[in-house]
Amino acid sequence: MPVLPCKSRPARSLFWVLAAASLSGCAGGVLDPQGPIGAGNRTILLNSLAVMLVIVIPTLVALLAFAWMFRASNRKARYDPEFTYSGRIELIVWSIPTLTILFLGGLIYYGSYHLDPRRPIASSQPPLEIQVVALDWKWLFLYPDQSIGTVNQLVVPAGVPVRFKLTSASVMNTFFVPQLGSMIYVMNGMQTELHLQADREGDYFGQSAHFSGDGFSDMNFRVRAISADAFSSWVSTVRGGGGVLNAGAYQDLARQSIKVPPASFGHVQPGLFDAVVRQTLPPGPGPTLTAAGEPHVGPKAQLAVGVPAMAHQPRPEEGE
């Protein structure tokens, strides 16, 4: 009976489909950077992986080789129960971890110096300053030069460095846009800085990467990188949309709330961010107390949306 030749084309197609499916999770994450800081972070990650694999792979190969060489059935294996010391073995044992430390130390130096969050990004464009306040459980973004503000939406011009000033008006939190770069912690009563840049136009995912309470899982925001002309038009639209963020509106916004929809403020009181950092404006009220006097940490049954009525919530077509 003749044997039919096996067609490998469907098998190859299935292989590439499975490979693409397995790598689809890399899109939109740290392995798909869209800015210089994100690209530097990916380089450090891959280089560190390569340094560790240089140790791990030979170690696994040596383990299998020694197990095969000194198996019980191998009569040619040398048996030396009086062995106590070998200079060559000592040299190998100590030189490998020493070289590993040197290589990883070089990578750490590169990351801590060239990717320092406070280090400005070299560019011919002046940086855009954005002030960030972590609230329960939402993000407040203030544009001091434009005198506008947004909640849970961050709009930046593509190709322009962004200088973030960050703080928290509640518990410790972290600000992280995986495709743009470094994650940074924010704390109550303290200010930190971060420089990022989006090289290309697009929508990116931003998140809180530190557990901060019951609404943590929904404390995400959308990052829109648009052209410089589109950014100017967006600023004009926000200003015309109305909404004022002053001390009173901020105190309403600071109350605990979950699943807060994106909103904007056409005017922001000057010095609001500094007042939050210096705690001239008090921190968020935190959880209410139960009848027993204990903190009520579950906001789902007691909180409203948490955006002041004077804030402008964009229509679906405005968010595009």
Q: What would the pLDDT profile of 282-293 be if each residue is shown by its tens digit?
A: 887 665 655 666
- Give the pLDDT mean for 231-247: 92
Which residue is listed with tokens 């990578």?
A: 107
Which of 81-85, 108-112, 257-261, 316-320 has the highest mean predicted lDDT (pLDDT)?
Answer: 257-261
Distances (CA, A) of 201 to 89, 150, 266: 55, 19, 24
List, in sequence order, every beta strand (DSSP E) within 100-182.
Answer: 128-135, 138-143, 148-151, 153-157, 162-168, 173-176
pLDDT of 84 above 50: yes
Range of weakest confidence among 26-30, 127-131, 247-251: 26-30
What pLDDT sits at residue 29?
A: 84
Nearest alpha-carbon partner for 154 in 172, 170, 133, 174: 133
What pLDDT sits at residue 289?
A: 58
Range of weakest confidence among 65-69, 147-151, 283-287: 283-287
Per-residue pLDDT band at 19 (split at 50, 70, 90): very low
Q: Which fold has domain 29-73+86-115?
A: Helix Hairpins (1.10.287)
Q: For the chain, give the percent of residues with pLDDT over 70.
A: 80
DSSP 183: -
pLDDT of 24 above 50: no
Range of weakest confidence among 20-29, 82-91, 172-181: 20-29
pLDDT of 27 above 80: no
pTM above 0.95, yes or no: no
Range of weakest confidence among 100-104, 186-190, 249-253: 100-104
Q: Which residues pair with 154 in a beta bridge?
A: 223
Distance of CA 204 to the CA centre of its chain: 11
**CB 130 within 8 Å of CB 156:** yes
What pLDDT sits at residue 311?
A: 60
Q: Looking at domain 128-278, which CATH architecture does it have?
A: Sandwich (2.60)
Cα of first residue to Cα of last residue in the chain, in angstroms, is 64
**Comparing 198 with 296, which gets the higher pLDDT?**
198
- From the CB of residue 220, how many other CB atoms can be counted at a distance below 10 Å? 15
What pLDDT sits at residue 149?
A: 96
Phi and psi of 128, rounded to 5°? -95, 130
What tokens appear for 225 in the block?
Answer: 């990188």
The stretches of the chain forming alpha helices (DSSP H) are 9-23, 36-69, 87-114, 228-240, 247-253, 272-277
Phi and psi of 153, rounded to 5°? -150, 135
Could you report the per-residue pLDDT of 188-225, keeping only the tens digit for each?
999 999 999 999 999 999 999 988 888 888 999 999 99
What pLDDT sits at residue 196?
A: 96
Per-residue pLDDT band at 317 (split at 50, 70, 90): very low
Range(s) of the chain covered by CATH 2.60.40.420 = 128-278
Range of weakest confidence among 9-13, 139-143, 169-173: 9-13
Per-residue pLDDT band at 18 (split at 50, 70, 90): very low
pLDDT of 22 above 90: no
Q: In sequence order, which residues have a C-beta less than 8 Å from that of residue 138 and are 6 or more positions away?
A: 151, 152, 219, 253, 257, 260, 306
